[in-house]
Amino acid sequence: MANVVVVGAQWGDEGKGKIVDWLSERADVICRFQGGHNAGHTLVIDGEVYKLNALPSGVVRGGKLSVIGNGVVLDPWHLINEIDSIRGQGVDITPETLMIAENTPLILPIHGELDRAREAQNSVAKIGTTGRGIGPAYEDKVGRRSVRVADLADDETLEKRVDRALVHHDALRRGLGLEPVDRARLLADLRAIAPKILEYAAPVWKVLNEQRKAGKRILFEGAQGALLDIDFGTYPFVTSSNVIAGQAATGVGLGPTAIDFVLGIVKAYTTRVGEGPFPTELDDADGQRLGERGREFGTVTGRKRRCGWFDAVLVRQTCATSGVSGISLTKLDVLDGFEELKICTGYELDGETLDYLPTAAEAQARCTPVYETMPGWSESTAGARSWADLPGEAVKYVRRIEELIQCPVALLSTSPEREDTILVTDPFAD
């Protein structure tokens, strides 16, 4: 059976939550493979709104196994609060429906404190983090000083892990003018939360390999977007993990041959939250209109998103780095009523035309977009469920995007409701 990876192909906020929820009906297992609770997914199901940060989107669908993989960094206190919140909306979450990889690193309170202190004191250039400790938690992972889920089961090991982390963190905190970590309180907090987390802990790599051998369909869910990837994003204004599709296998303990289809989620225009280059950003009435019509505010931070025209150069680039098989184009309805639409087809940099975004940050900041103009449409696309429901100019716009990004549209989303989706190619088809 086909296994599908879903990745954002822009700067995040592309509408992954709805698409993952839509696909989860066809899947048996839904896995989060990277990121932390700095990424928000909003699902609208039968008029009910679910806002998820740490939980996989599949938890709102009964009869599915949801998995938090080892590529994620997990705030255990946030997770338990989120589980309680979703339960309050009538969703049943049990160890039979949710598993957490035993080798998943934990986000501790000291990570959030460090994150916020650094951002507040960064006089050179703010990264625009959410301040939730994701970056410092990943630093500890590669620095081999993380507390991981499995460590919660043994008190002696837990103390050793905490002490190793504090040697590093207390030195950093002195340099930032922060008080030393209260070791006793941190350990007490971890001991208190441990049983609530450990009931979900499992050897996820083993479970997923068994599920795959049994012919189960696995859906891999990423957070953020490929342009925030630590290697291939607009560095240093990126997240602290690999976001691209190649991380899906590593982030749960499966080999790369487990991936059969990569679905890139792409918004019909472009948005970004936080700092960093954004070649097609609009500071005019069109940009404001996109933001208002698209309700462009961050699920996690509430920050207003920066808006701009569709950038085909960037999406073509992310489709290449993630090996995207097909895209899901979302929020087409936001463009209803525009007389003209623009698509970025290249960049001008120092008198040269480029068909890719350069790697150097200063060069990225100096790129200016080369636009192609297309006629808009006055009719509504909201709620369309077939190509016949779309205005002719909207179809031309979608087809032109396919040509420019060199990747076909597999799904077309026309509203936040899960059923308002046009299926072109089923990613789960064998």
> What are the catalytic residues?
13, 41
Give the residue carrying structure tokens 């089923």.
426
Find out whether 381 and 288 touch, Cβ atoms under 8 Å.
no
Angstrom distance (rounded) from CA 47 to CA 27: 23
Angstrom distance (rounded) from CA 46 to CA 41: 16
The CA-based dihedral angle spanning residues 254, 257, 261, 263, taken in that order and rounded to the nearest 10 degrees:
50
Reported residue count of the chain is 430
Give the residue carrying structure tokens 């007490």.
188
Angstrom distance (rounded) from CA 104 to CA 252: 10
Angstrom distance (rounded) from CA 344 to CA 309: 7
In 3D, which of 395, 385, 430 has the Cα closest to residue 22? 385
Angstrom distance (rounded) from CA 66 to CA 221: 10
Number of Cβ within 10 Å of residue 401's Cβ equals 22
* C-alpha triplet 424, 403, 271: angle, nearest 5°: 85
E strand segments, 77-166: 98-101
Q: Could you tell me which residues come within 8 angstroms of residue 89 by beta carbon, excluding any fewer than 6 positions away? A: 48, 50
Q: How many Cα atoms sit within 13 Å of 46 on the Cβ side?
A: 3
Q: Please report the DSSP string for 40-79 in residue order.
A: -EEEEETTEEEEESSS-GGGGSTT-EEEE-TTB-B-HHHH
Rg (CA), the chain: 22
Residue 293, by phi and psi: left (phi above 0), alpha (psi -120 to 50) or beta? alpha
